[in-house]
Amino acid sequence: MEKTWNNKAWFLVLPVLVLVAFSAVIPLMTVVNYSVQDTFGNNVFFWAGTEWFEELLSSDRFWQAMVRNLVFSFIILAIEIPLGIFIALNMPKKGWGVPVCLVLMALPLLIPWNVVGTIWQVFGRGDIGLLGYSLRSLGFDYNYVNDPYDAWVTVILMDVWHWTSLVVLLCYAGLVSIPDAYYQAAKIDGASRWAIFRYIQLPKMNRVLLIAVLLRFMDSFMIYTEPFVVTGGGPGNSTTFLSIDLVKIAIGQFDLGPAAAMSIVYFLIVLLMSWVFYTVMTNYDSGQ
Amino acid sequence: MARIDCNHIRHAYGPHPKSDKDYALKEVHHAFEDGGAYALLGPSGCGKTTLLNIISGLLHPSHGELLFDGRDVTNLSTQERNIAQVFQFPVIYDTMTVYDNLAFPLRNRGVPETDVDRKVRETLEMTGLADMARRKARGLTADQKQKISLGRGLVRSDVNAILFDEPLTVIDPHMKWVLRSQLKQLHRRFGFTMVYVTHDQTEALTFAENVVVMYEGEIVQIGSPAELFERPKHTFVGYFIGSPGMNVMPVAVEGRNARLGSQTIELPGAPKAGTAGAIELGIRPEYVRLGRDGMAVKISKVEDVGRHKVVRASLEGREIAAVIGEDGTVPAEPKVRFDPARINIYADSWRVEMGA
């Protein structure tokens, strides 16, 4: 077929291009601008080239934050995904229990991040917090302010409390879309509970699970507010994740150049991960 | 393989059925003989699938009990009943290969792998899926998927019965015919008790030795295809089976004669019907003779349906149909006669026997 070339069509794309330019491209360009220059304020800039990038990639501080963040994401995925599936499988499929469960599940998702942080900050305190006080009364030496291990446990518990429901809701949506005939056929075929899960429920949840993993990975990899409110990145640097570190550099130390370089590397990592997930998902869809 | 007894089975989907209307199955009391091939025939919503699901244990009947070879299985699970069932729409395990799909019911029951392999290969051969055994079941066409479902129903040889719930709906006409004959062959070879639900009379009449006609939650007639055709026990069976359906007209019976408007029709005997209730006369279009003598009719339409023609006419103001041969012609002053031996008389829609 002969293709029709009509450049007027570009005008139709223009509004979107303008929107995207203002919301994403232009702010990003200012970051690029900072990342290759040095400034001491007063709007005076010096060309720095790739200096900030080289410094960043050879800094232990950056890689430590990166490892901490990856470990954090891995742990919360390892807890939230199986736990979410388990809860979704055990939620009622009909009757009055459905709306009750759905509302209960949606509640943590509706609470603003910094409020979640505050809740847990108070909850975990040894003097007045229910969790901290109870643990201490039971004889545990729990103190998230001084003990890195306790700080990690608190941050992970908080994330699991906050976000497992997202996985539950996604899995539940996948589960209720399975027609009854599948369960009937499984009964006829004598499938065990495990076989039903493995060959009917899991394959049907596959796509929503990929979305859940993607969302939870991205969110946890960019987590800032809650740990900032609870631990402020401490004790020491033990809960300083990438974004907390980034804010420390940019606003705490006012090193705009290194912070900009770090932003770009951070952005590229997130982009790369998204691309990997996207590729996996589309390949899965085409049945390969 | 087993004989299946349905003892006064009633089923309502709602929790508190009040009247007969709340019952999807009003009362079914019937035995499916061991090794019989049955078709459950009826319009949509008449309770066929409900009855099937009660037999397989997917539903627990509200009342009544179910026996397999005399053993009460009403409270047994589907798995304990050892039944195979094929559903209307394909159900496949799409992460498995075609081969593994067929092996699934066997492996779940711990059948040794050598037997699994033998049975699966046989079934693959029978359903024509042999060349795609190693393919993933996802991405196959609807009728290939349905063949997998069918294959899973046939792969076990020790089942008490195989139940089919309109299994050929999504299969194209040619393949339908092939699969149906394979099912019949299979039945002859292994003697499974088979129950086949359908709303397609051709399918029912070609598949089964015994056709069970259901209507509004009840069994109205059980019989061979010929019996259903010649002596429909209920006017519904007359309408539902045959194409076009039976002509049914209200008459008044006087001894061995039936009066239809100004016409008198001679009956083969005196019907044993009480005077109460609506009396109707039923005659198949195949037995309405169109000629130069008999009752005068007005022809409204002649439909050529291929091997024969269907004549639509009006007799005493009532629509009737007659079937004439491919080369049959309609006379100038058409009249009809009813073949007396083929006349059935109905009281309140149920057939009554003829006396002497």
Q: Which two tokens stand for residue B57?
A: 């244990």
pLDDT tens, position by position, A101-137: 999 999 999 988 888 888 888 888 878 888 888 888 8
Q: Which two tokens stand for residue A172?
A: 């539940």
Which domain range does residue A79 map to? 60-285
Residue A87 confidence (pLDDT) above 90 = yes
Percent with pLDDT over 70 in chain A? 97
How many angstroms separate the Cα of A165 from the Cα of each of A6, A77, A203, A210, B328?
49, 13, 20, 15, 75
Residue A288 confidence (pLDDT) above 50 = no
Closest Cα in chain B to A192: B108
Of the candidates B109, B104, B101, B110, the residue with the CA atom closest to the CA atom of residue B134: B101
Closest Cα in chain A to B97: A199
Asked if residue A280 belongs to a domain, the reply is yes
Residue B67, classified by CB atoms within 10 Å of its CB into exposed (0-12), middle (13-18) or buried (19+), is middle
Asked if residue A39 belongs to a domain, the reply is no
Whole-number pLDDT of residue B261: 80
3 state DSSP class of A40: coil
CATH number assigned to the domain comprising residue A198:
1.10.3720.10
**Residue A67 touches partner B, C-beta closer than 8 Å:** no
pLDDT tens, position by position, B37-57: 888 888 887 888 888 888 888
Question: CA B327, CA B313: separation in Å to the nearest integer?
Answer: 18
Query: Is residue B68 located within the same domain as residue B172?
Result: yes
CATH number assigned to the domain comprising residue B333:
2.40.50.140
pLDDT tens, position by position, A150-175: 888 888 999 999 999 999 999 999 99
In this complex, the residue of A181, A195, A287 whose CB is nearest that of residue B87 is A181
**Residue A199 touches partner B, C-beta closer than 8 Å:** yes
Q: Which two tokens stand for residue B64?
A: 């009544």
Domains identified in chain A, total number: 1
For the residues B122-138, what does the mean pLDDT come to?
A: 83
State how far residue B134 is from chain A, nearest Cα, in angstroms: 14
Asked if residue A10 belongs to a domain, the reply is no
Whole-number pLDDT of residue B274: 66
Asked if residue A6 belongs to a domain, the reply is no
For the residues B238-260, what does the mean pLDDT come to?
A: 85
CB contact under 8 A, B79 and A190: yes
CB contact under 8 A, B58 and A189: no
Binned at pLDDT 50, 70 and 90, residue A75 comes out as: very high
CB contact under 8 A, B93 and A187: no
Do residues B34 and B2 touch, judged by C-beta distance below 8 A? Answer: yes
Of the candidates B9, B147, B2, the residue with the CA atom closest to the CA atom of residue B74: B9
Binned at pLDDT 50, 70 and 90, residue B153 comes out as: confident
Do residues B292 and B347 touch, judged by C-beta distance below 8 A? Answer: no
Query: What DSSP state is assigned to residue A68?
Result: H
DSSP assignments along B85-123, one per residue: EE-SS----TTSBHHHHHHHHHHHTT--HHHHHHHHHHH
Whole-number pLDDT of residue B273: 65
Question: Given its phi and psi angles, is residue A167 left (phi above 0), alpha (psi -120 to 50 degrees) or beta?
Answer: alpha
Query: Is residue B25 located within the same domain as residue B126?
Result: yes
Q: Which chain A residues are closer than 8 Å to B13 by Cβ?
A: none
Query: Is residue B311 located within the same domain as residue B289?
Result: yes
Asked if residue A187 belongs to a domain, the reply is yes
Phi, psi of B172 (to 5 degrees): -75, 155
pLDDT tens, position by position, A221-264: 888 888 888 787 778 778 888 888 888 878 877 778 888 888 88
pTM for the structure as a whole: 0.75
Binned at pLDDT 50, 70 and 90, residue A285 comes out as: low
Whole-number pLDDT of residue A169: 93
Asked if residue A117 belongs to a domain, the reply is yes
Do residues B54 and B25 touch, judged by C-beta distance below 8 A? Answer: yes
Do residues B152 and B105 touch, judged by C-beta distance below 8 A? Answer: yes
Query: Is residue B63 located within the same domain as residue B97?
Result: yes
Sign of CA dihedral A152, A157, A159, A164: positive
Binned at pLDDT 50, 70 and 90, residue A78 comes out as: very high
Burial B169-190 (b: 16+ CB within 10 A, else e): bbbeeeebeebbeebbebbeee
Asked if residue A192 belongs to a domain, the reply is yes
Question: CA B240, CA B231: separation in Å to the nearest integer?
Answer: 13
Domain boundary among B207, B235, B263: B235
State how far residue A277 is from chain B, nearest Cα, in angstroms: 20
Mutate to test the interface with A, among B78, B160, B169 (most CBs of A within 10 A): B78
Residue B95 confidence (pLDDT) above 90 = no
Whole-number pLDDT of residue A76: 93
Do residues B313 and B335 touch, judged by C-beta distance below 8 A? Answer: no
CB contact under 8 A, B96 and A199: yes
Binned at pLDDT 50, 70 and 90, residue A284 comes out as: low
CB contact under 8 A, B57 and A203: no
Phi, psi of B345 (to 5 degrees): -115, 135
Percent with pLDDT over 90 in chain A? 16
3 state DSSP class of A194: helix
pLDDT tens, position by position, A258-267: 888 888 888 8
Q: Which two tokens stand for residue B334?
A: 């058409």
Do residues A183 and A196 touch, judged by C-beta distance below 8 A? Answer: yes
- Average pLDDT across chain A, whole number: 85
CB contact under 8 A, A187 and B57: yes
Please report, as a single letter, which amino acid is at residue B158. Answer: D
For the residues A45-62, what does the mean pLDDT come to?
A: 81
Which domain range does residue B280 map to? 244-352
Residue A286 confidence (pLDDT) above 60 = no
CB contact under 8 A, A199 and B93: yes
For the residues A47-55, what does the mean pLDDT come to?
A: 80
Write the CB contacts of B349 (distance below 8 Å, at least 6 apart in sequence). Answer: B234, B235, B236, B278, B280
Domain boundary among B235, B270, B293: B235
CB contact under 8 A, A203 and B94: yes
Q: Which chain A residues are closer than 8 Å to B149 by Cβ?
A: 185
**Strand-pair partners of B162:** B84, B194
3 state DSSP class of B11: strand
Question: CA A105, CA A166: separation in Å to the nearest integer?
Answer: 8
Q: Which chain B residues are closer than 8 Å to A192 by Cβ?
A: 108
Query: Is residue B150 located within the same domain as residue B253?
Result: no
Question: CA A235, CA A154: separation in Å to the nearest integer?
Answer: 12
Sort strands B63-68 and B71-72 into parallel, antiparallel or unpaired. antiparallel
Of the candidates B1, B21, B26, B33, the residue with the CA atom closest to the CA atom of residue B11: B26
Domain boundary among B200, B235, B270: B235
Whole-number pLDDT of residue B356: 63
Q: Which chain A residues are closer than 8 Å to B89 by Cβ?
A: 181
Q: Which chain A residues are closer than 8 Å to B78 by Cβ?
A: 184, 187-188
Domains identified in chain B, total number: 2
pLDDT tens, position by position, A187-213: 888 888 898 998 889 888 888 888 888
- Residue with the bigger pLDDT between A48 and B226: it is B226
Phi, psi of B85 (to 5 degrees): -140, 135
Query: Is residue B11 located within the same domain as residue B99?
Result: yes
